[in-house]
Amino acid sequence: MNRTRTAIRTTYYSLATNLVLAVIKGLAGFFGNSYALIADAIESTTDVFSSLLVLFGLTYAKRPADKNHPYGHGKIEPLITFIVVAFLVTSATVIAYESIQNIQTPHELPQPWTLLVLGAIIVWKELSYRIVIKKSKQTHSSVLRAEAWHHRSDAITSITAFIGISIALFLGKGFETADDWAALFASGFILYNSYLIFRPALGEIMDEHRYDDLMLQIRKISLEVEGIKGTEKCYIRKAGMYYHIDLHARVDGNISVTEGHDLAHQLQDRLKQKVSGIGHVLIHIEPYTT
């Protein structure tokens, strides 16, 4: 439950950050004649809704296991991640369309002070990324990882806006659309980032094996239990913030069923004690003969 509380608190931070920045970017873009900033505001607005979805997903995922969900409700996390990705793709499409329209329409140069706003936003968003990605690693939350990458993509799109506005201001008349081109480039980056977020979530839904390091750790710890002679099959799947383990352990084939049963429980206890984020552990005993 500590993991869930940490993830929920982090999501509240993201929600507040995105809400404040959406307002700041929108106002700065409107009064500063910068569509790159307005495009950034559009992305931050979609981030507000995605943060609400993340909050819902984390709250739902903390429900305890029940008769219909014996492994808990953690699979809601990658499902929410898919919806978050859909928000990102939608915002990228809107930004690209509006950028193309603005490129074709004459308009004034952006105001120089918009660069100061963007500079502050870039620093703020990069710090937010570092905070949230650290919490996602602590909690093993895929949806929180997606939330972190929202902050990083926002920082990078702000960098492209900064470059575009700088070009427009430095080169002057005839380069008014430089920040629109920057927004168009940013939309492409958002789409690419959407794939990076989508791919791990898809693997989690499909129970794809992506946990070689954890598997090696489990095999090593298993040999620390007296009576465990080795391991065979090891299957790992992730649901929410927890890893569920199916492990075949080898024991002396001459011991009793009761002794084998006791060894299985000792191994379960050792794994849960030593490995962070372990959920269900199923041990299948195999006979070991010399």
Domain boundary among 205, 226, 241: 205
For residues 114 and 173, state if they share a domain.
Answer: yes
Structure token pair of residue 253: 């084939």
Domain boundary among 187, 205, 223: 205
Contact 243, 278 (CB under 8 A): yes
Question: Would you state the pLDDT for residue 220?
Answer: 94
Q: Find the domain containing 235 and state its range.
A: 212-288
For residues 112 and 241, state if they share a domain.
Answer: no
CATH code assigned at 57: 1.20.1510.10
Q: Tens digit of pLDDT for each residue in 11-63? A: 898 889 889 988 998 898 888 887 777 877 877 787 788 788 888 888 888 78
Helices vs strands, H then E, count in the chain: 8, 3
CATH code assigned at 239: 3.30.70.1350
Question: Would you state the pLDDT for residue 284?
Answer: 94
For residues 114 and 197, state if they share a domain.
Answer: yes
Q: Which residues of the chain have pLDDT under 70?
A: 1, 107, 290
Domain boundary among 141, 173, 205: 205
Question: Would you state the pLDDT for residue 290?
Answer: 64
Question: Would you state the pLDDT for residue 216?
Answer: 94
Q: Tens digit of pLDDT for each residue in 96-120? A: 887 888 788 776 777 889 889 889 9
Contact 225, 260 (CB under 8 A): no
Structure token pair of residue 185: 């480039």
For residues 229 and 194, state if they share a domain.
Answer: no
- Gap between the Cα atoms of 153 and 36, Å rounded: 14
- Gap between the Cα atoms of 37 and 272, Å rounded: 48
DSSP state of 209: -
Structural domains in the chain (count): 2
Question: Would you state the pLDDT for residue 130?
Answer: 92
For residues 119 and 152, state if they share a domain.
Answer: yes
Contact 143, 81 (CB under 8 A): yes
For residues 92 and 108, state if they share a domain.
Answer: yes
Tokens 């931050």 belong to residue = 44
